Structure 1
Amino acid sequence: MPSTSSATVAEEAERKYSATGDRPLPDLTGLPSVDAIDVDRFELSAQYYDTADLCLLRSKITLRRREGGDDAGWHLKLPSGVDTRTELHFPLGDDSAEDVPADLGSLLRGIRRGAPLSLAALLVTRRHRHRLRSSDGGFVAEVVVDDVDAVRSADGSEIRWKEIEVEWNSTLGDKTIGRFLTALEERFAAVGITRSESPSKLHRVLGDLLPARPPIAKGLIPVRDYLSSELHTLGLSDIAVRRDARDAVHSMRKAARRLRSALQTYSDEIVVDPDLVDELRWLGRRLSPSRDLEVQWERLTDRVADIPVESHREATRARIDEYFSARSEAARLEAVDTLDSDRYVGLLTRLDAAITDIAPATEAAGARPKVARKELLRAVAALSKKVSRRVDRVGDAENPAERDALMHRARKGAKRMRYAIEVIAPLHPKRSGRILDRFDDFQDLLGEFQDSVVAREHLLDMLSEQGHTAETSFGLGILFRIETEIGDAQAAHLDSGWRKAYRAARRLWT
């Protein structure tokens, strides 16, 4: 049985093209960077798995068990960018083709909403492969012609088609690959080969079974699109957290925070279940320790270089590593336990329903089911007043502890406002881009301040523990002083930073 630890990970860059009849490929010799072509033929058999309601396909994820060729195994493909996907490859082991390995099922628990995975389609592909190489034998690209026979499990229907795939070596650089693809597609166009409308073979087989999105008020389209996008990010981040990928917890927390912020900010315009907001807050809090420890460990390790006595740096760094290592592993396990909980799966299911059934708040009250752009802008304007009040209160703080708490409230309000602007950015793309740049600057200021506050808390915890040497006490004390100075410097720029962000944002509603 494959396990996640046995997986190999690769970035796959490819495009699919439609071919009709027996039309042959154009001549591939003489393409940019290509000096040799190897040709072979073979057959592939693949079983594709999904839930009954196609949760994986709706998330642009494919899971298959493939036999034949030179990459037999379990393949999990995750979207990662334009023309690119991240592929996790697991060895076949002794598993039956009828069952998805438990480790793979666990990795996809959030995406599948706890539902079982079963055979969705069987594909047999007769592949004619052309491997294009450079003068030194390096891999440039692979052009394959696939004759595909597919049977889908839902109704037993059979589908047959021919397609062309081009996969390239992205490490060659954008310019090199750009020249290659331009030349190749010119030759394709000359013989009537065009880009495929289906993003994957499985989508071609099952795409017509995906439900259409229900019509909604025009003014709510950017809200629904934003919520859908962030829920998709949340799902992909879920998989990354389970794999212990770098920055995965940060990405997941941010998606949860954006979902919560959008639901709160536009609660006067759309029907929102307050309990859903509370559940997103719960998720963020459960993920928070893992992310905060990751950030602080890296921050304080980097800061060690600022200790003026070089001989004290190594001992201080060792103390920091000792402090964070045990805590970080415990926090990561807590995060994964959260993702395995029924409460978390229930939250995802409710988010699905809330986005699918999104409706204007006026509709619930029996009034006209319409949301105008100006109503969305009015919500952002109201939020800006709250942030202004929070910023003003910081200046009234009577001591550093109170100032730190008020700065944190201002930071949370500004972040919520930034996310609210992201929601309506499609309505004012150019103007919103400039505004978000200003908010990025302001958030950087507030984020650096908050990181300095948390760093000081960790340093005090370290200093309070037993077993310190003179070197570590000195080093940790120096780091505490540095973090205090950083916090004071950021707080001094709070008013000016907010004024710049606010002046940019108010152009949306004035």
Structure 2
Amino acid sequence: MGIEIEDKFDVPPEYVIPDLSGLADVVGPKNYQLVALYYDTPDLRLAARGVTLRRRRGGSDPGWHLKLPKAKGVRQEITHPLTRSTKVVPHELAELVRAYTRGAELQQVAELDTHRSVTVLLDGDTKLVEIADDHVKGTVFKDEPKVVRWREVEAELLDGGTQALLAKVGKRLRKAGATPSAAASKLAKLLEPAPPAKAPTKPGTAGEIVVDYLASQVAALLSQDPRVRRAEDDAVHQARVAARRLRSALKAFKAVVIDTDELQEELRWLGTVLGEARDLEVTRARFARELATLAPELVTGPIQTRLGADLHKREQEAYERIKEVLSGDRYYTLLNALDELVANPSLGKAAAKPAQERLSTIAAANWDRVTRAYDTAQAIEDLERREIAMHDVRKAAKRARYTAEALQPTLGRDMGKLAKLAEDIQEILGTHQDGVVAQETLAKEAESARQAGEDTFTYGLLIGIERNTAERAHADFPRVWAETVKAVRKLL
């Protein structure tokens, strides 16, 4: 697996690669013949999302390549050894695109026959940038095959290079007559797939802003799906955040996009499924950090196994449950509903309102929810019930934060400030809550250790650390709340 960062350029047939000396040592060109078969669903679901899946012969890296978009000009590449069959996609790669295929068959959709001339910039033995000059023959497999020929140049950043050097290479290529390509890949240039459908909304309206935001979060959720299936670092967290942002937006903008109660519940379900592994992951890392701060003589018994390997085993079991869910009909039905939400949303009267007017009101209303939740909690005399009610304050603050972040591109810096203030409330309440939950987890683990005849001294130390953390957050909250309320009043 690797990260592919490259700039693509369209060039005329007579284009000449410019002199690149002075940027680094230059080696090449070296010529290759590459033949790649591309796979997709009949309606090109992968190509529509910027995903490419191919089987390629020739060159320095023959095999199966799955490329997943991460950002503009940046793609994650996952490789698999070349197989004999050209008909069957390796199971491991087919699984990684299930969020896009959703049960549809993968088939050959195109072939690219490329004569490639490669020049490499080096610093000693370190490869910095690769410039590929490609003469391409593309064939689309339809009832009547369509053949297209073109030439393009790619400048790809290698492990030893820098973005600054890549930019200098691009500047020289453009000066020689190359123009940045509008297509994200050769396949996109050949197939010209239609982008995911999105509802037409009137520019400058609340409907346009909200639907655009929902589309961005649906794309974010889909982009994390393959990473979650591979159990990559932070993938479950990012997928869970995307699901939470979608659910929060549907709640916050319920006057703009209406009739989404059932979809909100399904997003809550997905967040819960993802949450088990994420919570175990965070808990395990938390205890590992705390144990690392203790002097060795204070770490007694097999506590590192119980709080490390045992929690990691439970985390892996949770990942297996996630993978099972991500391959089920309920999940695919949810993804289909999200596509339909973006393509054909039910819009309320507020959707036609000017964005500045309507959305600023919504942002203020969501902060009002935070203050009402706080007032409700503070009116409860029973301390235990008040602590439970403060969790509603945290949830309201998170929704206010997500709402403000969604509106920042439209309403400006004040929304960024509001988002940060809401996040401050969310974080300090979260620090308290996490400390309380950690104490409960440690107490359960200590009891298991005690029954097994193990030394539980270190569990007591960790419980003391967690109690101190929770109590400090609890004591500091009134100050943070007062400062936040004062700052918000200046914004709204």
Normalised to the residue count of structure 1, the TM-score between the two structures is 0.89
Alignment counterpart, residue 67 of structure 1, candidates 32, 57, 70 = 57
Whether the 8 Å CA contact 1:304–1:316 is kept in 2: the answer is no
CA distance in structure 2 between the aligned counterparts of 1:126 and 1:186, rounded to whole angstroms = 24
Q: 1:210 to 1:247 in 2, by over 3 A?
A: closer
1:196 and 2:181 matched: yes
1:310 and 2:293 matched: no
> Aligned-pair distance for 1:502?
4.4
> Aligned-pair distance for 1:501?
4.1
- Across the aligned residues of Structure 1 and Structure 2, the Cα RMSD in angstroms comes to 2.3
Q: Which runs of 4+ in 1 moved over 6 A?
A: none
1:216 maps to what in 2?
201
1:125 and 2:114 matched: yes
CA distance in structure 2 between the aligned counterparts of 1:350 and 1:465, rounded to whole angstroms = 44
1:355 and 2:349 matched: no
Whether the 8 Å CA contact 1:130–1:142 is kept in 2: the answer is yes
1:456 maps to what in 2?
439
1:138 maps to what in 2?
126
SS of the counterpart of 1:110?
Answer: helix
1:315-326 counterparts in 2 under 5 A? 315-326=302-313
1:274 and 2:261 matched: yes
1:5 maps to what in 2?
none
SS of the counterpart of 2:149?
Answer: strand
For residue 153 of structure 1, what is the amino acid of its counterpart?
F
SS of the counterpart of 1:115?
Answer: coil
1:185 maps to what in 2?
170
1:109 maps to what in 2?
98
SS of the counterpart of 1:221?
Answer: helix
CA distance in structure 2 between the aligned counterparts of 1:336 and 1:208, rounded to whole angstroms = 29
Whether the 8 Å CA contact 1:26–1:188 is kept in 2: the answer is yes
CA distance in structure 1 between the aligned counterparts of 2:282 and 2:298, rounded to whole angstroms = 25
Whether the 8 Å CA contact 1:312–1:472 is kept in 2: the answer is no
1:263 maps to what in 2?
250
1:39 and 2:29 matched: yes
Q: Which moved more, 1:201-210 or 1:352-361?
A: 201-210
Whether the 8 Å CA contact 2:394–2:426 is kept in 1: the answer is yes
CA distance in structure 2 between the aligned counterparts of 1:146 and 1:308, rounded to whole angstroms = 60
Whether the 8 Å CA contact 2:49–2:196 is kept in 1: the answer is no
1:442 maps to what in 2?
425
1:56-455 counterparts in 2 under 5 A? 56-94=46-84, 96-134=85-123, 136-154=124-142, 156-173=145-162, 177-178=163-164, 180-210=165-195, 213-218=198-203, 219=205, 220-307=207-294, 310-313=297-300, 315-362=302-349, 369-370=352-353, 372-396=355-379, 398=381, 401-455=384-438
1:4 maps to what in 2?
none
Q: 1:36 to 1:270 in 2, by over 3 A?
A: closer
Q: Which moved more, 1:320-329 or 1:270-279?
A: 320-329
SS of the counterpart of 1:358?
Answer: coil
> Aligned-pair distance for 1:200?
0.9
> Aligned-pair distance for 1:499?
4.2
CA distance in structure 1 between the aligned counterparts of 2:480 and 2:301, rounded to whole angstroms = 37
1:28 and 2:20 matched: yes
User: Could you report, residue by residue, the CA deviation over 1:224-262 in whole angstroms, capped at 9, with x for unpaired residues?
Assistant: 121111111111211111101111111111110000000
SS of the counterpart of 1:64?
Answer: strand
SS of the counterpart of 1:150?
Answer: strand
For residue 58 of structure 2, what is the amino acid of its counterpart?
G
Q: 1:249 to 1:209 in 2, by over 3 A?
A: closer
Whether the 8 Å CA contact 2:301–2:456 is kept in 1: the answer is no
Whether the 8 Å CA contact 1:17–1:163 is kept in 2: the answer is yes
> Aligned-pair distance for 1:350?
0.3
Where do 5+ consecutive residues of structure 2 fail to align? none
SS of the counterpart of 1:427?
Answer: helix
CA distance in structure 2 between the aligned counterparts of 1:192 and 1:393, rounded to whole angstroms = 66
Q: 1:57 to 1:191 in 2, by over 3 A?
A: same
Sequence identity (%): 34
CA distance in structure 2 between the aligned counterparts of 1:181 and 1:372, rounded to whole angstroms = 39
> Aligned-pair distance for 1:505?
4.6
CA distance in structure 1 between the aligned counterparts of 2:374 and 2:256, rounded to whole angstroms = 26
1:10-29 counterparts in 2 under 5 A? 10-29=2-21
For residue 73 of structure 1, what is the amino acid of its counterpart?
G
For residue 126 of structure 1, what is the amino acid of its counterpart?
H
Q: 1:497 to 1:171 in 2, by over 3 A?
A: farther
Q: 1:89 to 1:403 in 2, by over 3 A?
A: same
CA distance in structure 2 between the aligned counterparts of 1:137 and 1:326, rounded to whole angstroms = 42
CA distance in structure 1 between the aligned counterparts of 2:362 and 2:18, rounded to whole angstroms = 56
Q: 1:212 to 1:221 in 2, by over 3 A?
A: same
> Aligned-pair distance for 1:73?
0.8
> Aligned-pair distance for 1:396?
4.5
Where do 5+ consecutive residues of structure 1 fail to align? 1-8
User: Could you report, residue by residue, the CA deviation over 1:32-88 in whole angstroms, capped at 9, with x for unpaired residues?
Assistant: xx1231221111111111223322223221111111111111111112234221111
1:3 maps to what in 2?
none
Q: Which moved more, 1:459-468 or 1:483-492?
A: 459-468
For residue 62 of structure 1, what is the amino acid of its counterpart?
T
Alignment counterpart, residue 463 of structure 2, candidates 480, 485, 488 = 480
CA distance in structure 1 between the aligned counterparts of 2:15 and 2:484, rounded to whole angstroms = 58
Whether the 8 Å CA contact 2:120–2:129 is kept in 1: the answer is yes
For residue 438 of structure 2, what is the amino acid of its counterpart?
A
Q: 1:20 to 1:340 in 2, by over 3 A?
A: same
CA distance in structure 2 between the aligned counterparts of 1:380 and 1:319, rounded to whole angstroms = 45
SS of the counterpart of 2:302?
Answer: helix
CA distance in structure 2 between the aligned counterparts of 1:216 and 1:345, rounded to whole angstroms = 26
